[in-house]
């Protein structure tokens, strides 16, 4: 699984000074661990290093980072959609890039007493994060990755990239009820994790947090704000209503082994889920949500 450009449940190796993550069982794919933040200007050299380093990967996959949306290399490629918000000024976003409903939600958050302000990654903030994490074991129809983690684990997991991230919290009467991590990727800013308490959803804290991120980008003259991949499902509408749109980046696939070559020829380089039509994907997602809702019945879920 890949989350915000970071590979999960796989191993990392160092090749030619680059951190490479390798994922898969019968077909192993290598990518840059930090591909949202690193460019590959000379892929051929890195590919040669990968082949000579015996990394036990069948494919190497990389992309061109925003704003380079036109393919510049001759390798096989496919569109890889991400969510992008062009940023000029905060007023332009508020008046022209979001609809009336979202504009009203941003205003509603402030009327309900939500205060957005920069935060420090200290003990108080971490314990506030834990309270949000532990509100429910299920979010968006799946077991929540951070539910039940202890203080040391949360501190370790979320401190790794603080050198390039800014934090903001959504506070209600002094209590942290939501937060956002915004990373500087040089060419653009990235929304990392954005999360809030479900019991305060009616106060629109996530809308206010995104508004804060847009304002931050505008003040720093960062031309784009990204929000991970362009999703399939309800989150797509939330991103669209917040001013984000789909932008396709060229995703390259380069065989490193005979198996990789055959898999690419047969179209097996993408996961089975990626190849499902939207109707089938959404049906299976709905059934999965029902299953987890039944399994965790009696608990609060989102």
Q: What is the pLDDT of residues 31-45, one digit of tens each?
A: 999 999 999 999 999
Domain-located, residue 122: yes
One domain for residues 8 and 102:
no
Domain-located, residue 300: no
One domain for residues 228 and 92:
yes
Domain-located, residue 100: yes
User: Which pLDDT band holds residue 207 (cuts at 50, 70, 90)?
Assistant: very high
For residue 158, the enclosing domain spans 84-246
Predicted local distance difference test score (pLDDT) of residue 302: 57
Question: Of 231, 246, 261, which residue sits at a domain end?
Answer: 246
In the chain, the number of structural domains is 2
Backbone angle region of 195, left / alpha / beta, with phi > 0 → left and psi within -120 to 50 → alpha: beta
Top pLDDT among 5 and 222 is at 222
* CA–CA dist 235, 302 (Å, integer): 12
Domain-located, residue 8: yes
- In this model, does residue 201 exceed pLDDT 80? yes
Predicted local distance difference test score (pLDDT) of residue 276: 77
Give 180-227 as a 3 state SS string: EEEEECCCCEEEEEEEECHHHHHHCHHHHHHHHHHHHHHHHCCCEEEE
One domain for residues 27 and 100:
no
Domain-located, residue 48: yes
Q: How many CB atoms lie within 10 A of CB 53?
A: 16
DSSP-derived pairing of the beta strands 175-184 and 165-172:
antiparallel
Domain-located, residue 183: yes
One domain for residues 180 and 96:
yes
Domain-located, residue 30: yes
One domain for residues 231 and 111:
yes
One domain for residues 133 and 201:
yes
Q: What is the pLDDT of residues 270-295, one digit of tens each?
A: 887 777 787 877 777 778 777 777 77
pTM of the model: 0.89
Predicted local distance difference test score (pLDDT) of residue 190: 97
Q: How many CB atoms lie within 10 A of CB 41?
A: 7
Q: What is the pLDDT of residues 9-22, one digit of tens each?
A: 468 899 999 999 99
Domain-located, residue 301: no
- In this model, does residue 193 exceed pLDDT 70? yes
Predicted local distance difference test score (pLDDT) of residue 2: 37
User: Which pLDDT band holds residue 142 (cuts at 50, 70, 90)?
Assistant: confident
- In this model, does residue 6 exceed pLDDT 70? no
* CA–CA dist 94, 99 (Å, integer): 8
- In this model, does residue 102 exceed pLDDT 60? yes
Predicted local distance difference test score (pLDDT) of residue 90: 98
Question: Of 225, 246, 267, which residue sits at a domain end?
Answer: 246
Q: Report the pLDDT averaged over residues 197-219.
A: 97
Q: Report the pLDDT averaged over residues 175-180.
A: 98
Please report, rounded to a whole number, the percentage of residues in the chain having pLDDT higher than 70.
Answer: 94
DSSP letter string, the chain: -EETTEE-SSEEEEETTEEEEEE-SSS-EEEETTTTT---S-HHHHHHHHHHTT---SEEEEEPPTT--S--S-S-EEEEEEEEEE-S-HHHIIIIIS-HHHHHHHHHHHHTTEEEEE---SHHHHHHHHHHHTT-SEETTEE-TTTT--HHHHHHHHHTTGGGEEEEEEEETTEEEEEEEEEE-SSSEEEEEEEE-GGGGGG-HHHHHHHHHHHHHHHHT--EEEEEEPPSSHHHHHHHHTT-EEEEEEEEEEE-SHHHHHHHHTT-SS-TTTTS-HHHHHHHHHHHHHHHHHHTTTS-B-
Are 264 and 59 in contact by the 8 Å Cβ rule? The answer is yes
One domain for residues 223 and 106:
yes
- In this model, does residue 97 exceed pLDDT 50? yes
Predicted local distance difference test score (pLDDT) of residue 25: 87
Backbone CA torsion sign across 71, 76, 81, 82: negative
Residue tagged 């990755």 (tokens): 145
CATH number, domain of 104, equals 3.40.630.30
One domain for residues 104 and 145:
yes
One domain for residues 182 and 53:
no
* CA–CA dist 217, 180 (Å, integer): 14
Predicted local distance difference test score (pLDDT) of residue 12: 86
One domain for residues 263 and 177:
no
One domain for residues 47 and 176:
no
- In this model, does residue 3 exceed pLDDT 70? no
- In this model, does residue 137 exceed pLDDT 50? yes
Are 208 and 177 in contact by the 8 Å Cβ rule? The answer is no
Predicted local distance difference test score (pLDDT) of residue 1: 34
Weakest-pLDDT range from 75-79, 161-165, 242-246, 285-289: 285-289
One domain for residues 22 and 49:
yes
Q: Report the pLDDT averaged over residues 182-205.
A: 96
């Amino acid at each position: 699984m890949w989350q915000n450009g970071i590979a999960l449940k796989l191993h990392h190796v160092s090749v030619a000074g680059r951190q490479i993550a390798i994922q898969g069982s019968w077909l192993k794919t290598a990518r840059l661990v930090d591909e949202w933040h690193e460019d590959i200007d000379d892929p051929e050299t890195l590919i040669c290093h990968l082949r000579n380093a015996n990394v036990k990967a069948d494919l190497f996959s990389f992309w061109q980072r925003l704003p380079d949306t036109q393919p510049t290399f001759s390798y096989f490629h496919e569109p890889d959609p991400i969510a992008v918000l062009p940023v000029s000024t905060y007023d332009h976003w508020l008046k022209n890039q979001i609809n009336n409903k979202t504009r009203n939600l941003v205003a509603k958050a402030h009327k309900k007493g939500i205060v957005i302000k920069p935060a420090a990654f200290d003990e108080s903030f971490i314990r506030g994060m834990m309270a949000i994490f532990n509100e429910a074991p299920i979010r968006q129809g799946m077991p929540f990755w951070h539910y039940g983690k202890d203080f040391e684990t949360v501190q370790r997991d979320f401190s790794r990239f603080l050198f390039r991230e800014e934090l903001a919290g959504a506070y209600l009467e002094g209590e942290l009820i939501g937060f956002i991590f915004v990373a500087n990727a040089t060419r653009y800013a990235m929304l990392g994790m954005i999360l809030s308490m479900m019991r305060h959803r009616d106060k629109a804290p996530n809308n206010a947090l995104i508004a804060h991120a847009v304002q931050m980008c505008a003040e720093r003259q960062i031309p784009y704000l990204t929000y991970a991949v362009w999703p399939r499902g309800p989150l797509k509408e939330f991103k669209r209503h917040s001013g984000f749109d789909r932008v396709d980046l060229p995703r390259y696939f380069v065989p490193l082994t005979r198996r990789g070559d055959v898999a690419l020829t047969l179209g097996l380089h993408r996961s089975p889920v990626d190849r499902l039509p939207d109707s089938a994907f959404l049906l299976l997602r709905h059934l999965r949500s029902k299953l987890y809702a039944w399994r965790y019945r009696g608990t609060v879920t989102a």
